[in-house]
């Protein structure tokens, strides 16, 4: 019985995996049924849309618990910079801070469930709201248990981390923190904990808790804002596109795309560098995250580059950087998220990002190809027969972006329905057409892995919503605009300041939480300075993709170090020339708005 109740029980693992798989299956199936019944009978399934939206909250918390189970929640990897025994002490201290914050969030979520039960609101199909919000305290409790377990491999360290459970007693004993002088030291403690490796969502959630407490707002407002994700008509597309991307990544899509692009441009001087850039830029929007692309394809591309006489510095830098430059292409999840929170037309933003996105690809590919040619890299001969054969093999992957765009912009499906169609498309391609995956054996494994990835970044979005809500209530954007206008008059200087700000933000925060926290701050400022909202979106996303490569947060830097088993300092050095190229390109995108706005204008948007 004790084994069953431990946070890492195999039985609990199977239950969690099964629940996550069922949630993803329902999230994909309901929109598909909605499309079918609407086309056949003229009306969809009553109440299915709110159910799908609320299931997103469930997959977020269950996925976050899965990520905590394997200690994969996104955090600054600074503990590795300390030598023994300080590395163990730092980890225990960070766990203590994280456990304290998460216990407060657990209490806040319990309060939210009680409020929802008192109001008795329904979602649909007779299911009350509290039945969905109840997943929050369950998920937070699992995360707390796993934080304690991963704090140390020694019981003493785990006991110290578990002392964080007592932190909420300050609130429980009725101490009024307003004016108590405790808010500043608590904030500093969270800041130090963030620098030492507590999960990013914990840091954002802790900051939101302290700010709401300072305002005298009940702490249930923080999980309440996380619940607000369930009212979004667009956000459920994120887990579905991620699931589809995982299916494609686990199948043979990457190999087919590699053969196609190799046949198309591999004959050019430095052609393999161009192939690498195209494959990764094409694949990243489909997987939903550049990290997946590096992990899934890095082991395939890097040996090919090295075998073709590319130097390690050029090859590793190219693979690391190319994994993030597809962020502007459909169906990129950051573009979807930005369009929703900035209230910009999604179709117009995707079209506006095509030319800047191509420029980023050309800049990286050209630099990698020039260095490869200079280093004497080998290239292949062009063969028309080989090109046609490779194209025919990869036709399903090549057609996928067009299928998504036509279904959305042709009015056949909503964004969420298009994401569900993408899941079905990926399953048919990998399990039926090519038969490289078994729908039961491989499908369940991929679904569980997808849920882990989804929870890892969606929980950050949920916590960031709470912080954003505070910024709006406190009128921070208005005050910031007034302050900036007091010493910056020129729109050109404003754009330069935005570039610097976004690069710094990218070095400290992942792209998803940056969108939620920063966009409400800069969007009103851009309007005041006459910057087109769509152009601002492209500027933001072009800068934010640099965040994957900027120390200290630089997620792709850490993933590249892990994937290629190289020191992080060497990864920094290898990517530096490419970062310089991207910075120049981003400045060109920023100060040449016609590149962004010309194509939407031609197409009548």
Backbone angles phi and psi of 209, in degrees to 5: -60, -50
The tokens of 507 are what? 């070095």
The answer to whether residues 575 and 320 touch, using CB atoms and an 8 Å cutoff, is yes
At residue 145, the pLDDT reads 92
At residue 403, the pLDDT reads 84
Cα separation, 272 vs 241, whole angstroms: 28
CB-neighbour burial class of residue 179 (10 A; exposed 0-12, middle 13-18, buried 19+): exposed
Is the four-CA dihedral 201, 205, 208, 210 of positive or negative sign? negative
pTM here? 0.81
At residue 586, the pLDDT reads 92
CB-neighbour burial class of residue 258 (10 A; exposed 0-12, middle 13-18, buried 19+): buried
How many alpha carbons lie under 13 Å from residue 269 in its C-beta half-sphere? 8
The tokens of 93 are what? 């201290």
Cα separation, 197 vs 34, whole angstroms: 43
Cα separation, 304 vs 94, whole angstroms: 40
At residue 179, the pLDDT reads 56
Q: For 377, which DSSP code? A: -
Nearest-5° Cα angle at 593, 588 to 594: 110
Backbone angles phi and psi of 186, in degrees to 5: -65, -40
Closest CA to 272 of 380, 389, 394, 391: 380
Backbone angles phi and psi of 356, in degrees to 5: -60, -40
The answer to whether residues 454 and 23 touch, using CB atoms and an 8 Å cutoff, is no
Nearest-5° Cα angle at 292, 291 to 296: 120
Query: Which residues sit opposite 428 in a β-bridge?
Result: none
10-residue mean pLDDT series, the chain (605 residues): 47 86 92 88 81 90 89 68 76 91 92 90 89 93 92 89 83 53 79 84 88 81 82 81 84 83 84 86 71 69 83 88 83 83 86 93 91 79 88 90 81 86 92 90 87 82 79 72 76 85 74 78 85 92 81 70 75 88 92 91 78
The answer to whether residues 425 and 395 touch, using CB atoms and an 8 Å cutoff, is no
At residue 209, the pLDDT reads 87
Residue showing tokens 């579905």 = 240
Count other Cβ atoms within 10 Å, centred on residue 250. 20
Q: Which residues contact 458 (CB under 8 A, 6 or more apart)?
A: 56, 59, 60, 63, 64, 229, 238, 239
């Amino acid at each position: 019985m004790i084994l069953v109740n431990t946070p890492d029980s195999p039985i609990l693992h199977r239950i969690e995996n099964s629940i996550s798989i069922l949630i993803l299956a329902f999230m994909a199936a309901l929109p598909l049924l909605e499309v079918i019944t609407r086309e056949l009978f003229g009306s969809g399934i009553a109440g299915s849309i709110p159910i799908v939206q609320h299931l997103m909250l469930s997959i977020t918390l269950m996925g976050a618990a899965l990520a905590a189970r394997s200690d994969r929640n996104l955090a600054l990897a600074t503990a590795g910079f300390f030598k023994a025994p300080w590395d163990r002490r730092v980890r225990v201290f960070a766990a203590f801070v994280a456990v304290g914050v998460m216990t407060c969030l657990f209490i806040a979520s319990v309060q939210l469930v009680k409020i929802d039960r008192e109001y008795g609101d329904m979602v649909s199909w007779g299911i009350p709201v509290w039945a969905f919000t109840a997943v929050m305290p369950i998920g937070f409790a699992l995360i707390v248990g796993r934080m304690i377990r991963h704090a140390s491999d020694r019981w003493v360290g785990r006991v110290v981390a578990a002392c964080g459970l007592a932190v909420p007693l300050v609130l429980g004993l009725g101490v009024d923190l307003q004016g108590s002088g405790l808010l500043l030291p608590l904030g500093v403690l969270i800041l130090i904990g963030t620098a030492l490796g507590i999960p990013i969502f914990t840091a954002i959630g802790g900051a939101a808790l302290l700010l709401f407490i300072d305002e005298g707002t009940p702490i249930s407002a923080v999980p309440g804002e996380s619940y607000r994700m369930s009212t979004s008509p667009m956000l459920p597309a994120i887990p579905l596109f991620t699931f589809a991307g995982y299916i494609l990544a686990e199948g043979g899509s990457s190999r087919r795309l590699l053969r196609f692009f190799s046949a198309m441009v591999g004959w050019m001087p430095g052609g393999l560098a161009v192939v690498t850039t195209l494959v990764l830029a094409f694949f990243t929007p489909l997987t939903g995250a550049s990290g997946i692309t590096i992990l899934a394809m890095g082991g395939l591309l890097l040996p090919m580059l090295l075998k073709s006489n590319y130097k390690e510095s050029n090859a590793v830098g190219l693979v690391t950087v190319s994994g993030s430059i597809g962020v502007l292409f459909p169906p990129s999840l950051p573009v979807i998220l930005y369009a929703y929170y900035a209230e910009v037309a999604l179709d117009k933003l995707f079209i506006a990002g095509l030319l800047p996105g191509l420029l980023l690809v050309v800049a990286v590919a050209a630099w990698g190809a020039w260095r490869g040619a200079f280093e004497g890299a080998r290239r292949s001969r062009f063969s028309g027969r080989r090109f046609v054969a490779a194209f025919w093999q990869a036709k399903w992957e090549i057609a996928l972006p067009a299928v998504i765009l036509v279904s959305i912009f042709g009015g056949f499906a909503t964004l969420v329905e298009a994401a569900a169609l993408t899941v079905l498309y990926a399953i048919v391609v990998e399990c039926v057409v090519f038969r490289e995956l078994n729908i039961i054996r491989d499908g369940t494994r991929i679904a569980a892995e997808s849920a882990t990835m989804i929870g890892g970044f969606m929980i950050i979005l949920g916590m960031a919503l709470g912080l954003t809500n505070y910024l709006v209530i406190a009128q921070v954007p208005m005050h910031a605009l007034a302050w900036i206008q007091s010493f910056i008059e020129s729109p050109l200087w404003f754009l330069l300041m935005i570039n610097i700000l976004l690069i710094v933000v990218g070095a400290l925060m992942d792209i998803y939480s940056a969108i939620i926290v920063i966009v409400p701050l800069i969007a009103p400022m851009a309007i005041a300075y006459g910057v087109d909202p769509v152009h601002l979106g492209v500027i933001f996303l072009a800068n934010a993709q640099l965040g994957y490569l900027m120390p200290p947060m630089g997620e792709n830097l850490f993933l590249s170090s892990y994937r290629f088993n190289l020191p992080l300092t060497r990864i920094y050095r290898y990517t530096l020339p490419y970062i310089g190229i991207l910075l120049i390109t981003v400045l060109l995108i920023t100060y040449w708005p016609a590149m962004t706005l010309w194509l939407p204008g031609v197409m009548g948007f």
